[in-house]
Structure 1
Amino acid sequence: MKIVFLDAATVGKDVSLDGLRQFGETVFYDATKPGEAALRVADCDIVITNKVKVYRDEIDAARNLKLICVAATGVNCVDVDYAASKGIPVKNVPAYSTESVAQVCFMHILNMVGHGMYFNEICHDGRYSRSGMFSDVLNPFWELKGKKMGIIGMGNIGSRVAELATAFGMEVSYYSTSGTGHCRTYPCVSLEELLGGSDVVSVNCPLNPKTRDLITYTELGRMKPGAYIVNCSRGGIINENDLVRALNEGLIAGAAVDTFETEPLPIDHPYIAGVKDPSKLILSPHIGWTSIEARIRLVEVLEENIRTFLESGK
C-alpha cells in the first residue's frame, strides 16, 4: 500500500503526520506544482490532497488508485464524478474546523467593531503618547449587545457563530442559501431583509453555482452605512471588485475577509491596491481553519478515513 500526500506542508510542520505511516509506504510532498501531480500519483494506492487538483488526468495516471482523501471539507479540488465513474471513493473531512472558523469570524468582528487595529497603531506610533489624554475617544466603537447579527448560511459554522453572537447579546437572524434551513432557534429571513436589518453580516455558506457572487454591489448597497461584513467562507461569494467599490463609496463601514478567489492573494489585487482607506478592510491569509486543535482533528480524521476504507472497502 502506497500513500502520497501531495501538499503536506498545508497542514503545518507543528502537526505530526507520522500516524499515516501505519498504513504503508507514505510519501510526503510539501507542495505540488501544476503538472507534477500526475507523475507523483502514478504508482500510489491512496492520494491525499488539500488544494492540489486531482482531476481526470491525475486519476487516469494513477493506475493503482483506490482512494482519494481530501484534507479539507470542500472537495472542489477533485473531479468527484469522474472518480466515481472509476469506482474510486472520495473522502473529505467535514466539521473539523467549526470552532476555529467561528473564532476567527469573531476575531474579525471584534476587531472591526472595536477598531482594534487603530488603537494598537496609535499606541505604537506615538499618537497616544503625544495626545495629552489618558484615553482616546476620537474613534468611538459600539457594543455588540442589542445589535443585529445576520448570518448567511446556518450550517455547522454558521450555527456556532450564532451561538457566539447570542453570548454577546446580539439578535440573530439568518438566510438559508440552500432554501432548506430548518433552524428553529433563530428566524430565517430573506437575503434582502437580512442585509437591510443587520449591523454585522457573517458569510458562512459554501461556494457553489448558486452562491457565487451572492453579494455584489447591489446587495452591499442594501446594508446600513454603519454595518460591517465578514467573510470566512469562500472568496467567490462576495464579488471582490464590488466590495472594494462599496468600501470606497462608503456604502458600509467596513469588511473583513479571510478567503479569496485567488490564493495566495496577488500583490496587485484590488483589496491591496484599490482600497482608499485600508483601515476599512481587514485581511487575513485564509487562517480560519488553522487552529492547532483543528489541524490535529484534520489529521485524526484522515487516518480514520483510511482505516475505515482499508477495513470495509468503503
Structure 2
Amino acid sequence: MKIVFLDALTLGSVDFERFKEFGEVEIYQTTDKDETIDRIKNADIVVTNKVVIDKSVLDNAKRLKFIQIAATSMNNVDLEYAKAKGIIVKNVAEYSTNAVVQHTFAVVLGLINKICYFDKYVRKEYPNSKIFTHIQNWFEIKGKKWGIIGLGEIGKNVARAAECFGAKVVYYSTSGKNSSKEFKRVGLEELLKTSGIITIHAPLNKNTKNLLNYEKLSLMQEGSILVNVGRGGIINEDELVKILKEKNIFVGLDVFEKEPVNIDNPLLKSKKVLLTPHMAWSSIEAREKLMEGIYKNIEKFIKSGN
C-alpha cells in the first residue's frame, strides 16, 4: 500500500511513523491545487484535511481505494463520485468536542472581560495610573440568556457549561430536526432578539449558508456577544462589517468565509472583533485523538476492505 498525506502541516507536530507498518508513506506539508493529481496518481490511500479531491482528481487516481479525511467535515471530497468509483471515504467524528467547547469559552470570556484591552492597558498605561484599578464596562454571564445555534454534541456541551455559569440556555436547530429535553428550543429570530450571548456550532450547508445576514444580525441586542466556532459562511462577513459600524455588538470568529483571510478583510481592523485562526479544534489531545482515528480507519480498511 502507498499512503499519501497531502497537508500534514495542518495536523501540527504528530507521529507519522506508525503508518509505515502499512506500507510506503509519502508526507507533503502542503499541496496546491495543481499538485494534487500528480501526488496521488499512484496512491492507494490518501489522507487529506482541506485539499480538495474532486472528479478531475479522482479520474486521475487509478489506484486510489481509500480516502481518509483528517477532519469531521467531508465537504472537500466529491462523495458521490467517489462512491460511484468504489472508493471508500472516511472521516473522524467528535475528536475535537472538548477542545472546541473550551475555546468557545475562551473567546466568549475574552470578549466579555475585555482581556485583550486590559492586557494592552496594563502594559502601556497602568504604570502611570493614579488609582489601583481601571474601570470598563463588562458583565457577568449569570442570569444572561445564552443562545446556541446548532445543538449537536459541541452545542450541547457548551450549553451545559453555560448553565454552570448561571446562564439561561436556549437553542435554534439549523436542521429543524434537533430536539432536546434539556434545553428550550426557539426560533432564530427570538434567539437573536433575546440572547446576550450567542454561539454558533453548526455545519455549513444549504440551511446555514449566510444564515446570519444583515437582516438577522440587526436583531441582536446592543452590547451582545456573537461567537462563531462552527464554519465560515454561516455569517455573511460583508454584512457583519456593516452591522458592526451600526450597532454596539462584539464578535469572536475562529472561522471565516475564506481561509486564510485576505489581508484587506475589514474584520482585521475592527476593535469589536476577536479573531483566532481556525484553531478551536486543535488542542494536543484533540490532534492525538484525530491521528488515532485516522490510524484505526486505515488499519480497518487494510484488514477488512471497508
TM-score, normalised on structure 2? 0.98
Choose from 284, 297, 302 the match for 1:292: 284
Q: Secondary structure at the match of 2:147?
A: strand
Choose from 234, 254, 269 the match for 2:250: 254
Deviation by residue 1:131-167 (Cα, 9 ceiling, x = unmatched)? 2110111x12111111110000000111111111111
**Matches of 2:171 and 2:303, distance apart in 1:** 41
Deviation by residue 1:243-278 (Cα, 9 ceiling, x = unmatched)? 11111112x4200000111111111012125x3xx2
Which residue does 1:161 correspond to in 2? Answer: 158
Structure 1 stretches lacking a partner, 5+ long? none
Deviation at 1:129, TM superposition (A): 1.8
**Matches of 1:28 and 1:301, distance apart in 2:** 18
Which residue does 1:72 correspond to in 2? Answer: 71
Which residue does 1:11 correspond to in 2? Answer: 11
Deviation by residue 1:98-122 (Cα, 9 ceiling, x = unmatched)? 1111111110000111111111010
Q: Secondary structure at the match of 1:235?
A: coil
Choose from 234, 238, 244 the match for 1:237: 234
**Matches of 1:180 and 1:282, distance apart in 2:** 32
Amino acid at match of 2:126: Y
Which residue does 1:131 correspond to in 2? Answer: 129
**Matches of 1:155 and 1:29, distance apart in 2:** 33
**Matches of 2:19 and 2:177, distance apart in 1:** 37
Which residue does 1:27 correspond to in 2? Answer: 26
**Matches of 1:253 and 1:269, distance apart in 2:** 19
Deviation at 1:284, TM superposition (A): 0.6
Which residue does 2:97 correspond to in 1? Answer: 98
Which residue does 1:118 correspond to in 2? Answer: 117
Root-mean-square deviation (CA, aligned residues, Å) is 0.9
| Aligned pairs (5 A) from 1:132-151 | 132-137=130-135, 139-151=136-148
**Matches of 2:305 and 2:179, distance apart in 1:** 34
TM-score, normalised on structure 1? 0.96
| Aligned pairs (5 A) from 1:139-218 | 139-218=136-215
Amino acid at match of 2:97: T
Amino acid at match of 2:107: H
**Matches of 1:104 and 1:223, distance apart in 2:** 23
**Matches of 2:16 and 2:137, distance apart in 1:** 47
Amino acid at match of 1:293: E
**Matches of 1:294 and 1:75, distance apart in 2:** 18
Structure 2 stretches lacking a partner, 5+ long? none
Which residue does 1:269 correspond to in 2? Answer: 265
**Matches of 1:234 and 1:307, distance apart in 2:** 30
**Matches of 2:295 and 2:211, distance apart in 1:** 36
**Matches of 1:109 and 1:149, distance apart in 2:** 11
Q: Size of the alignment, in residue pairs?
A: 306
**Matches of 1:269 and 1:23, distance apart in 2:** 44
Which residue does 2:223 correspond to in 1? Answer: 226
**Matches of 1:128 and 1:50, distance apart in 2:** 44
**Matches of 1:285 and 1:100, distance apart in 2:** 14
Deviation at 1:297, TM superposition (A): 0.5
Deviation at 1:26, TM superposition (A): 0.6
Deviation at 1:60, TM superposition (A): 1.2
Amino acid at match of 2:32: K
**Matches of 1:296 and 1:18, distance apart in 2:** 14
**Matches of 1:306 and 1:148, distance apart in 2:** 44
Q: Secondary structure at the match of 1:237?
A: coil
**Matches of 2:279 and 2:159, distance apart in 1:** 20
